[in-house]
């Protein structure tokens, strides 16, 4: 199902999209495929699948450690696409990575490989919208959404440019700093969600720091269309990396609770 159709269906049911993030290859490729399937079974609507990079500047220690474990397990861009393809077809996937691996692989080749592997969109946190033209063109050619981040510090001029070029959804950064599970989210989030919603018809999804069902209920209350949960999911994987059965069980329970909160 397409990203657009997924958001449409959820809106009709008055549900928010739950978008868990995992780093493909953490702890290894085979286990990654099982993790992705378990998370989908537990209720994920869309999944962000991280392609590891050695210098993940937007990520906090949790996701940095996941990237390291993935690279250590031998994950690379070709293997990443193989894992994605193996588990694709049930829900939309979003590829999240940095510009360097995409550039090395080749922009058109990367976008085309995304399409062939069941990936609907790409998020590149270190690619400014002003420099995104070549990747934007490559994505358009392959029918892949290029998803941009809007932060509390994004200027009106830049926001206008982002909303003009974006497709898929808008990724709203809930607070300043790097990714990571937090107890509380940024205080200005309410006005940022409302401001963004007023300027675009695209779904608005919030990420960075979301780790509890209460956070998700809060997001829904202020009009967000989706919640992106990364570090809190990685924490469950890291804690149980030597016990696959327990890991999958705990992930299923955690995702199930988060998904329930999108319906309340």
What strand order describes the sheet that includes 170-173? 145-147, 119-123, 93-96, 47-50, 17-23, 226-229, 204-207, 170-173, 149-150
Task: Give me the catalytic one of 48, 145, 225, 235.
Answer: 48
CA pair distance 230, 179, nearest whole angstrom? 8
Task: Give me the catalytic one of 26, 45, 59, 225.
Answer: 59
> Is 59 among the catalytic positions?
yes
Contacts of 199 (CB under 8 A, 6+ apart): 159, 163
> Is 108 among the catalytic positions?
no
Closest CA to 163 of 124, 206, 203: 203
Specify whether the CB–CB gap between 94 and 119 falls below 8 A: yes
Alpha helix positions (H), 13-98: 29-41, 61-72, 77-87
Locus of tokens 């990237």: 67
Both ends of the chain: CA-CA distance in Å?
24
Which residues are known to be catalytic?
A: 48, 59
């Amino acid at each position: 199902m397409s990203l657009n159709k997924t958001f449409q269906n959820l809106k009709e049911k008055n549900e928010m999209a739950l978008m868990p993030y995992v780093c493909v290859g953490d702890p290894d490729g085979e286990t990654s495929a099982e993790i992705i399937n378990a998370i989908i079974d537990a209720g994920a609507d869309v999944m962000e699948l991280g392609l590891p990079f050695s210098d993940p500047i937007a990520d906090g220690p949790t996701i940095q450690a996941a990237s390291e474990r993935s690279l250590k397990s031998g994950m690379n861009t070709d293997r990443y696409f193989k894992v994605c393809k193996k588990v694709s077809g049930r829900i939309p996937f979003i590829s999240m990575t940095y510009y360097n691996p995409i550039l090395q692989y080749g922009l058109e080749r990367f976008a085309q490989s995304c399409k062939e592997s069941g990936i609907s969109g790409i998020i590149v946190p270190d690619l400014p919208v002003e420099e995104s033209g070549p990747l934007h063109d490559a994505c358009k050619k392959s029918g892949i959404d290029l998803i941009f981040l809007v932060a509390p510090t994004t200027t009106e001029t830049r926001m206008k440019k982002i909303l003009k070029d974006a497709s898929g959804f808008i990724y709203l950064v809930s607070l300043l700093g790097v990714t990571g599970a937090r107890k509380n989210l940024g205080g200005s989030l309410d006005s940022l969600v409302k401001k963004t919603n007023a300027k675009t018809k695209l779904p608005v999804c919030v990420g960075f720091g979301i780790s509890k069902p209460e956070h998700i209920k809060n997001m829904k209350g202020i009009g967000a269309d989706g919640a992106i949960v990364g570090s809190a999911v990685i924490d469950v994987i890291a804690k149980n990396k030597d016990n696959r059965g327990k890991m999958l069980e705990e992930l299923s329970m955690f995702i199930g609770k988060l998904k329930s909160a999108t319906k309340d």
